[in-house]
Amino acid sequence: MKLAAGGWLLPLPLSLILIWLGLLFRLSARRGTARVLTALGVTIALAAAFGPVANALLRPLETRYPAVLDASALQPAPRYVAVLGSGYYPRPGLPVTAELDAVGVVRLAEGVRLLRQLPGAQLIVSGGPQGDEPAIARGYAVAATALGVPADSLILLDTPTNTATEIRALHSRIGDAAVLLVTSAAHMPRAMALSRREGLHATAAPTGNLTTVSHLALLPSGSSLRKSETALHEYAGLLALEIGIN
């Protein structure tokens, strides 16, 4: 219910709602209201697809925590590297790198990179099933093994289905041990807020940054619209935490 309601507040669905309302008001001869609603809907869609707007929305989220370039320099050295879930859609004839979604591939690659800087550490892969698909952690485990991570260095948390339950399961599994928490840079503020609330001793290890400085970002595009949607989704999640919904 919460996810469905939040989805309708993203720029494109919200714009479509406003434009449809504008058409309804136009049919009822309330042309002034119709023009305002239609113009507002078009403006929201165009603004969200505009590169500078998308980057301005994302930057405060993605710059809140610095990347971890050298995990071996951290004191105390983390005993665990935990990768939060994204998406896993296994299909016959595809390599596991194609079965994980793009976000998940980037998160896992960063987790493996950090693990190799921490001798003796273990890699925790997280994420439960989505609908009829297998648990995301299972896909991560297959990919991690293919990338050379020993099976005895892997821990699977394959039941949590959202960030809050992932953090809760992670804390239950490792207790007060230090952990490097890997997730997308835009998602990291929410993941760390949940970690603090749970009492998890996590160090942020963000990856998958989307903010760009390219001149091409000046043009409206689908990729910029997606960035705006990502940012607004995270702001909505942070707001939900603040008011105690999550």
Q: What's the confidence (pLDDT) of residue 131?
A: 85
What is the pLDDT of the chain when averaged over all its residues?
89
Q: What's the confidence (pLDDT) of residue 28?
A: 75
- In a domain, residue 212? The reply is no
The CATH number of whichever domain residue 107 belongs to comes to 3.40.50.620
Residues contacting 101, CB < 8 A, separation 6+:
86, 87, 88, 89
Same domain membership, residue 194 and residue 109: yes
Measured between alpha carbons, how far is 120 from 69 in angstroms, rounded to an integer? Answer: 18
Handedness of CA 225, 230, 233, 234 (dihedral sign): negative
By C-alpha distance, which of 139, 110, 101, 127 is closest to 206? Answer: 110
Task: Say how many domains are in the chain.
Answer: 2
Judge contact between 208 and 106, C-beta under 8 A.
Answer: yes
- In a domain, residue 25? The reply is yes
By C-alpha distance, which of 4, 205, 193 is closest to 106? Answer: 205
Six-digit token string for 3: 């996810």
Q: What's the confidence (pLDDT) of residue 218?
A: 66
Same domain membership, residue 53 and residue 122: no
- In order, the DSSP letters of 171-218 are HHHHTT--EEEEEETTTHHHHHHHHHHHT--EEEEEE-------GGGG
pLDDT digits (tens, 9 = 90+) for 11-56: 777 777 777 877 887 777 677 887 787 777 777 777 888 888 899 9
Same domain membership, residue 199 and residue 87: yes
- Residue 229's CB is within 10 A of a number of other CB atoms, namely 18
Residue 36 CB-density burial (10 A; 0-12 exposed, 13-18 middle, 19+ buried): middle
Judge contact between 164 and 132, C-beta under 8 A.
Answer: no
Same domain membership, residue 125 and residue 182: yes
By C-alpha distance, which of 134, 92, 139, 117 is closest to 125? Answer: 139
pTM score of the predicted model: 0.86
By C-alpha distance, which of 129, 204, 127 is closest to 170? Answer: 127
Domain membership of residue 36 as a residue range = 2-62+220-242
Could you tell me which residue, 113 or 242, shows the higher pLDDT?
Answer: 113
pLDDT digits (tens, 9 = 90+) for 98-128: 999 999 999 999 999 999 999 999 999 999 9
DSSP label of 152:
G
Query: What number is the average pLDDT over the span 64-71?
Result: 96
Q: What's the confidence (pLDDT) of residue 1?
A: 43
pLDDT digits (tens, 9 = 90+) for 130-165: 888 999 999 999 999 999 999 999 999 999 999 999
pLDDT cut 70: percent of the chain above it? 93
Angle, in degrees to the nearest 10, between helices 51-62 and 222-242: 40
- Tell whether the model's pLDDT for residue 9 goes beyond 70: no
Q: What's the confidence (pLDDT) of residue 138?
A: 96
- In a domain, residue 214? The reply is no
Judge contact between 44 and 87, C-beta under 8 A.
Answer: no
- In a domain, residue 215? The reply is no
Q: What's the confidence (pLDDT) of residue 216?
A: 59
Measured between alpha carbons, how far is 218 from 32 in angstroms, rounded to an integer? Answer: 32
